[in-house]
Amino acid sequence: MRIRVEPHPVFPAAALGFALIGFFERPMAERRPRPPEMRAGLQLLVTSPRDSGPGSLREAIIAADRAPDRALIEIRTGRIVLETPLPPLVNPKGVILEAPNAGAEIDGSGLAAGALLDLASPRSVVAGLTIRGAAEQGVLVRSQGVRLRGLTVADCGEGVHVLEGAGDLLLEASSFDGNGTGVHVEPGARAVEIYESRFRNHDKAGVWAVSPSPPSQSTVPVVSVRQSRFEGDRMSLVLIDVPALVEDNQFLRPLEAAAYLTGAAVVRRNRVEGGASMGLYGDAVDGAVLEDNEVSHSQVAGILLRDSRNSQLRRNRLFGNAYGIAVLFDAGGAPNLVGENLVANQSADGIFVVAAAPVLQANRILGNRLAGLRVLDYVPIRGPRLAGRPLVRDDNVMENNGSDAQVRGEYREPPPASQGP
């Protein structure tokens, strides 16, 4: 007996509804209102790849700078090869520069100096462009509230340079490749956020933010780097005396260090793998927090603190490095806390202390090839011996290391190299 299954009476209407949704989805998306930051009173189209003339980017920027309202420049051409520097974007109401279609590129390889895009217009937005070949800066940010989104910046002296006085900058979903420095943040810039971006093969650093003096007591981050990926840079991050938040990033094969830190920084939930030297390097940090990071296969040390104070290394996981955690010398004052870390399977020592007095608490130090904990006094050529004297709590666990007992010794400062005749 053949059973006939009748469609539910709602089915034809539902099918028609889904078909209509599919049919109208793209037109409806195109008619959706643009977000407020992408709205403008004047729209200018770039249709020519030439350096100047009608339809060129140069003419569009000049028109946008003269506009009484916020202006939108939409690039609908491909590669633009600059012969002379572009004028800066200076409209006080803001300029939007976007390339909605793939393939739009500004090539500055023929210019000897200057920035390819000079943003002196507050609340400007640059989106979807490839910027290539600047001898100096790909993008120079002078103003407040700039948004850089979906950029590709390659082969520039500096990808993005943020000047003193600029701030509230969001850089997201962008790619930096083969520049000298990816992002350079000057002293006096503030609230620079880098989010979901990629940095690769930078000669100097992926992100460089250096202040000439320690910051005030403010804990508001000047630089935030979150959910980004760094690969093959000389140093991924250089953050010297700049309050910073470094969170949920991946660092692969840095040549010197994934992060070089001085001052106060919060570095947490990052993954560092395959460093040719250091993983995370804190030099004269004061009040820094390094927690919940995973550091593996660094050829010198996973985490190193030098001349530091009042900082915390908590709940990090270190394995397969030469040395796991190294604490060298003290800056005096409040001691550093090394607590609740898993330090396993280093090719040398798990924790290595020289002339320092960190508090070691609730660490699990397992299966390291040499000592679980090695403590050395420092013996200079001149001056007093500096003792290594960590406070080792009873709740540390050391098992299956080359030595589970604390290994004591000394490091003698080598004499200066003799000079030939």
Domains present along the chain, CATH in parentheses: 35-203 (no CATH), 235-421 (2.160.20.10)
SS3 185: strand
The CA distance from 369 to 319, in Å, is 11
CB of 167 within 8 A of CB of 191?
Answer: yes
Q: Can you give the pLDDT of all 421 residues of the chain as single tens digits?
A: 333 434 444 334 333 333 333 433 444 444 455 566 667 778 999 999 999 999 999 999 999 999 999 999 999 999 999 999 999 999 999 999 999 887 899 999 999 999 999 999 999 999 999 999 999 999 999 999 999 999 999 999 999 999 999 999 999 999 999 999 999 999 999 999 999 999 999 999 999 999 988 766 656 889 999 999 999 999 999 999 999 999 999 999 999 999 999 988 999 999 999 999 999 999 999 999 999 999 999 999 999 999 999 999 999 999 999 999 999 998 888 999 999 999 999 999 999 999 999 999 999 999 999 999 999 999 999 989 999 999 999 999 999 999 999 999 999 988 887 544 4
The CA distance from 235 to 254, in Å, is 6
Say how far residue 180 (Cα) sits from the centre of its chain: 15
Residues facing 347 on adjacent strands: none
Residues facing 343 on adjacent strands: 318, 365
User: What does pTM read for this prediction?
Assistant: 0.88
DSSP string spanning 386-404? B----EE-TT-EEESSSBS
DSSP string spanning 119-151? E-STT-EEES-EEE--SSEEEEE-SBS-EEES-
Residues facing 177 on adjacent strands: 154, 200
Q: What share of the chain is helix, strand, coil (3-state, %, to 5)?
A: 10, 45, 50
The CA distance from 271 to 293, in Å, is 6
The CA distance from 99 to 78, in Å, is 9
Which of 254, 150, 160 is closest to 201 using CA atoms?
254
